[in-house]
Amino acid sequence: MNFLIEMKCPIHGYERFRIKVVRKYNIPTNAIIPKLRSRPKPGELSQIVVGRYVPEKEIKNFLIDYLRKNGVWPMVLKVQIEK
């Protein structure tokens, strides 16, 4: 499962990127853990690791809260779930 995010970029005009959701069985069943990039742009979200019983709605809410905390939510045009 992936999230496709489309947003307005002040430099490029329009950007699309994907954030991958990985279900793990060796972590707590209701855990949501962000995995950040180290390269090429350190500190950006690359994956969301979740437990096996976390519903899609909670994952989407976590992603929206993450984007709000980083201050990019006003630029987001669309958040779409890809399976």
The full 3-state SS of the chain, as one line of letters, equals CEEEEEEEECCCEEEEEEEEEEECCCCCCCCEEEEECCCCCCCCEEEEEECCCCCHHHHHHHHHHHHHHCCCHHHEEEEEEEC
Which residue ranges make up each domain of the chain? 2-82
pTM of this structure = 0.86
- Between residues 40 and 72, which one has the greater pLDDT? 72
pLDDT in tens, 9-44: 888 889 898 999 999 999 999 999 999 988 777 778
pLDDT reading at 66 higher than 90: yes
Give the model confidence (pLDDT) of 49-63 as tens digits. 999 999 999 999 999
